[in-house]
Amino acid sequence: MAPPLKIGIAGLGTVGAGVMRMLARRNDEIAARCGRAVEVVAVSARDRSRSRDCDLSSVRWAESPVALARDPGIDVFVELIGGSDGAAREAVAAALEAGKPVVTANKALLAHHGVALATLAEQNGAGIHFEAAVAGGIPIVKTLREALLGNRMARVSGILNGTCNYILTKMREEGLSFETCLAEAQQLGYAEADPSFDVDGFDTAHKLALLATLAFGVQPDPGAIHVEGIRSITLADLDAADELGYRVKLLGVAARAGDEVELRVHPTMVPKHWPIAQVSGVTNAVAVDGDAVALTLVGPGAGGDATASAVVGDLCDLAAARVSRPFGWPVARLRPAGKPAIQRHEGGYYIRLAAVDRPGTAAAIARHMAERNISLESIMQHRRGRPHGGDRADSAGGPAPVVLITYATTEEAVRRAIDAIEADGVITSPPQVIRIEKD
Amino acid sequence: MAPPLKIGIAGLGTVGAGVMRMLARRNDEIAARCGRAVEVVAVSARDRSRSRDCDLSSVRWAESPVALARDPGIDVFVELIGGSDGAAREAVAAALEAGKPVVTANKALLAHHGVALATLAEQNGAGIHFEAAVAGGIPIVKTLREALLGNRMARVSGILNGTCNYILTKMREEGLSFETCLAEAQQLGYAEADPSFDVDGFDTAHKLALLATLAFGVQPDPGAIHVEGIRSITLADLDAADELGYRVKLLGVAARAGDEVELRVHPTMVPKHWPIAQVSGVTNAVAVDGDAVALTLVGPGAGGDATASAVVGDLCDLAAARVSRPFGWPVARLRPAGKPAIQRHEGGYYIRLAAVDRPGTAAAIARHMAERNISLESIMQHRRGRPHGGDRADSAGGPAPVVLITYATTEEAVRRAIDAIEADGVITSPPQVIRIEKD
């Protein structure tokens, strides 16, 4: 058997310690299956004295992540520091410059500096392995980079942020407001004290940038993504969606649109019967629509064990000498992703308007839609509305909501129609617009 | 760029022609992503004159599959003939003996002769790639063989036969009998004229044998699997399952049970909220429960495009020199799978008894259960039963059905309790027993 693959791990938090433990308990089988063992020979972490739930008795401590990355005694550098710049970026660059493959869970780093790092990787004949960076334990990177190469991709969409999916699930199932559910997610440790990175969609955008690169060959670029979060979603929307046969999910969507790739993160109405619609709580899911195969992968998107599983999977590929290009393409073939042009988005729309409760309002609204050539699949008016904020138990009625579902149209037409409706003075609060994703 | 990978395809049915077309339209991208193109240089098929929807103008015709397998002009042999013996087996063996990797969609061949062929593969340094043999377009082979090596597996279970899932879905959704739905499946081409291979569970068993090898390192052996099909499932069962919060699916299950691996194919009650419970129609799904990650993969289990996608994925791995051991383990490490010992199965049970409608019957049944230490989660008695066969619209009442749900117990205890109940003479037709799968 070949000598062990020697690895150095920078960052010994939950994931790093999980990788240490997983390798310790699985190494006999990994060695048998991959042809060589995987051995952690050196580590680095800010605090050496912290007690960690793994055996560090036989590893060297490096002075710094960069020193570890350059350590001639390691074959592979595992970066679990996090952050798009600073130590993580420097150390990954140093490892690649030294010709060492990198395994990382760092979505922000690759979303922002993926092209530069992949170039460095190619120049030095080293790989970048990042299964853990997207959707945690779901092997979507391997699936897009290797298994589905026979497919021309039409769309990749995913529930990529467990915090948002937890909040939306909780709101719907228990009739609670966004604020109440966010507070609960924070208590349970599913959301940060500053929840913006999750609930405003930026975390999803980082992961989407990487999925888009794998699926469509566009350069990873968070700036190319139209991003909306879930703060505006109310119980009224979730209830109306339910009535209309949809679920509301925060999706990251990369879809072919003519010669371009449309990249967007926003609350989305998905048909209830889609596998992805049925994914609840913190679970993640990715739906892949190729011209030959449509797949949905459901699994844990975060957590020490799930992320460690993805890191160890990458290490097994390296031990078995299974390699791919960093993003599955020669870096010179990656096209710029372009800037978001959400105005040109075509699709169905859900529009909820808090309209004044007087005769003819719905008809006037419908007329403005018709004038922009927007066909309505349905128009629903409830005499007494759900409160826009607040929990479902708060029974105070609001203005009469009018809910419209359009057939496929453009974002621009929808926005113009809404402007015209607002100019009429018949609506009493900002309209809610949710894009619909269909087959 | 390296010279093209030269392949020979034996068998030009729907899948073979689909592979030809997919390679033709995707080859530029495949070459860029894998570092070399994949070129079909030779084929074999029984009937050369048949018109096929693919370009065969630049391929050589081999005299026979074996001749193709031995052709020194090909690097990889693709076997799409089918059948566990005969031409497929001879040609695959010939290719491996010549040191050529094999790509195959042939589950029967590998389920029956996997150990011998994997031994041959190891001896000759060639691989066997069979993503297409299990669950069609779902990349479950790659996932188990490569991505999840950090996990000790607890259970792998799947909806692996689209025909059965179509029939069970149709029965439940439209209230039709097994016979009616089978006839419809036959009309739509989802079921063969002789449906036994599908509806009696043998097709699922072949696929399960391969999943069990990948996940647990047991030798593929259909004889080690307890197999029951779906012919006995009635609308009464599907309705009772619905009421109790379950769906009935034909599952193949490989589960760790102490030091052994339990292998079984049978109709199974799965909790409605499981992703796998929500998979309808001909779609397949595989749920993987590892100690670090629980995943569900949903996608097309059959069809020319989906199967071609899996074959082309394997070819891309070969083009990129990404190799694995045939079953993910050295063949010497594979353990015999043992014989089925369904009597020792432990789990919950659904039991439906057509009992005579007189006072005390339910109590007598419950007593027999208690005497075998079987705890009941619920006991449900409807005054007037659903007909056992027939469509839901047939409203003739049957005897009063008693439906029991047990807590975890053993198969043996359940069978003994039922024998005792039958000896009482209170039930009027053979009891229905469906195993329950839980977290």
Q: Decide if A142 and B137 are in contact by the 8 Å CB cutoff.
A: no
DSSP state of A344: G
Which residues in chain A are contacts of B18 at CB distance < 8 A? Answer: 292
Q: Is the pLDDT of residue B382 over 80?
A: no
Q: State the pLDDT confidence band at B439, using cuts at 50, 70 and 90.
A: confident
Pair (B274, B152) in one structural domain: yes
| Last residue within a domain, chosen from A133, A159, A186 | A133
Residue of B nearest to A22 (CA): B150
Give, in order, the Cα–Cα distances in Å from A284 to each of A239, A254, A276: 22, 16, 9
A322 lies in some domain: no
Distance CA A159, CA A296 (A): 11
Task: Decide if A438 is catalytic.
Answer: no
Q: State the pLDDT confidence band at B320, using cuts at 50, 70 and 90.
A: very high
Question: What pLDDT is stored for residue B384 in this prediction?
Answer: 56
Find the largest Cα–Cα distance for chain B: 82
| Last residue within a domain, chosen from A113, A133, A153 | A133
Q: Is the pLDDT of residue B395 over 50?
A: no
Give the number of domains in chain B: 3
B298 → closest Cβ in A147, A296, A311: A296
Distance CA A439, CA A63 (A): 53
Distance CA A429, CA A388 (A): 10
Query: Is the CA virtual torsion B182, B252, B173, A244 positive or negative?
Result: negative
Give, in order, the Cα–Cα distances in Å from A237 to each of A248, B190, B294: 8, 40, 31
Which of A100, A207, A339, A438 does the annotation list as catalytic?
A: A207
A304 lies in some domain: no
Of A393 and B185, the structure prediction assigns the larger pLDDT to B185
B57 lies in some domain: yes
Question: What pLDDT is stored for residue A395 in this prediction?
Answer: 46
Question: What pLDDT is stored for residue B120 in this prediction?
Answer: 98
DSSP state of A56: -
Residue with tokens 């298994």: A147
Q: Decide if B329 and A32 are in contact by the 8 Å CB cutoff.
A: yes
Interval A193-251: pLDDT, tens: 899 999 999 999 999 999 999 999 999 999 999 999 999 999 999 999 999 999 999 99
Pair (B100, B192) in one structural domain: no
- Give the count of beta carbons closer than 10 Å to the beta carbon of residue B28: 9
Q: Is the pLDDT of residue A69 over 50?
A: yes
User: The domain spanning residue A83 has which CATH number?
Assistant: 3.40.50.720
Question: What pLDDT is stored for residue A363 in this prediction?
Answer: 87
Provide mean pLDDT across the span A163-187. Answer: 97
Residue B329 near residue A164 (C-beta atoms within 8 A): no
Interval A267-285: pLDDT, tens: 999 999 999 999 999 999 9
Interval A334-374: pLDDT, tens: 999 988 789 999 999 999 999 888 888 888 899 999 999 99
The parent domain of residue A246 ranges over 140-298
Pair (A189, A232) in one structural domain: yes
Report the share of chain B in percent with pLDDT over 70.
Answer: 97
Tokens coding B308: 């071609």
Provide mean pLDDT across the span A180-192. Answer: 94
Pair (A224, A280) in one structural domain: yes
Distance CA A342, CA A346 (A): 9
Q: What amino acid is encoded at B114 in this protein?
A: G
Least confident of A54-58, B29-33, B347-351: A54-58
Residue list, annotated binding site of B for L-homoserine? 192
Residue with tokens 């490490």: B333
Pair (B170, B271) in one structural domain: yes
A430 lies in some domain: yes
Q: State the pLDDT confidence band at A398, using cuts at 50, 70 and 90.
A: low
Q: Decide if B325 and A33 are in contact by the 8 Å CB cutoff.
A: yes
Determine whether A85 is exposed, middle or buried from the number of CB atoms within 10 Å of its CB (0-12, 13-18, 19+): exposed
Pair (B75, B152) in one structural domain: no
Report the share of chain A in percent with pLDDT over 90.
Answer: 85
Pair (B75, B123) in one structural domain: yes
Which residues in chain A are contacts of B297 at CB distance < 8 A? Answer: 295-298
| Last residue within a domain, chosen from A283, A298, A313 | A298
Which of B170, B207, B339, B438 does the annotation list as catalytic?
A: B207
Which residues in chain A are contacts of B325 at CB distance < 8 A? Answer: 33
A339 lies in some domain: no
A182 lies in some domain: yes
Instruction: Name, in order, each residue with C-beta under 8 angstroms of A151's C-beta and a sequence gap of 6 or more.
Output: A288, A290, A291, A292, A293, B26, B309
Pair (B26, B102) in one structural domain: yes
Of A98, A76, A95, residue with least CA distance to A87: A95
Partner residues linked to A155 by β-bridges? A255, A289
Question: What pLDDT is stored for residue A360 in this prediction?
Answer: 84
Please calculate the CA angle A336-A341-A347 and round it to the nearest 5 degrees.
Answer: 120
Distance of CA A147 to the CA centre of its chain: 20
Residue B61 near residue B43 (C-beta atoms within 8 A): yes
User: The domain spanning residue B423 has which CATH number?
Assistant: 3.30.70.260
Q: How far is B429 from chain A (nearest CA, A)?
A: 37
Q: Is the pLDDT of residue B388 over 70?
A: no
Distance CA A132, CA A9 (A): 14
Pair (B102, B149) in one structural domain: no
Please calculate the CA angle A284-A287-A289 and round it to the nearest 5 degrees.
Answer: 170
Of B105, B82, B95, residue with least CA distance to B126: B95
End-to-end CA distance of chain B: 50
Question: What pLDDT is stored for residue B393 in this prediction?
Answer: 63
B150 → closest Cβ in A22, A298, A323: A22
Provide mean pLDDT across the span A88-116. Answer: 98
Determine whether B149 is exposed, middle or buried from the number of CB atoms within 10 Å of its CB (0-12, 13-18, 19+): buried
Best to test chain A binding among B153, B172, B291, B295 (most A CBs inside 10 Å): B295
Which residues in chain A are contacts of B307 at CB distance < 8 A? Answer: none
Interval B93-140: pLDDT, tens: 999 999 999 999 999 999 999 999 999 999 999 999 999 999 999 999
Residue with tokens 């007598």: B364
Residue A107 is assigned to a ligand binding site: yes
Pair (B190, B289) in one structural domain: yes
Partner residues linked to B385 by β-bridges? B398
A313 lies in some domain: no
Interval B204-229: pLDDT, tens: 999 999 999 999 999 999 999 999 99
Pair (B111, B16) in one structural domain: yes
Distance of CA A423 to the CA centre of its chain: 37
Determine whether B4 is exposed, middle or buried from the number of CB atoms within 10 Å of its CB (0-12, 13-18, 19+): middle
Q: For all residues of chain B together, what is the average pLDDT? A: 94
Q: How far is A219 from chain B (nearest CA, A)?
A: 15
Helix (H, G, I), strand (E, B) or coil at A226: strand
Q: How far is A102 from chain B (nearest CA, A)?
A: 17
Q: What ipTM, to 2 d.p.? A: 0.95
Strands (E), A141-293: 153-159, 226-227, 246-257, 260-271, 283-290
Residue A150 near residue A295 (C-beta atoms within 8 A): no
Residue of B nearest to A280 (CA): B273
Tokens coding A263: 């990249």
Interval B223-265: pLDDT, tens: 999 999 999 999 999 999 999 999 999 999 999 998 899 999 9
Residue with tokens 């060959």: A217
Pair (B188, B250) in one structural domain: yes
Provide mean pLDDT across the span B54-77. Answer: 96
B54 lies in some domain: yes
Distance CA B13, CA B264 (A): 31
Q: Decide if A324 and B323 are in contact by the 8 Å CB cutoff.
A: no
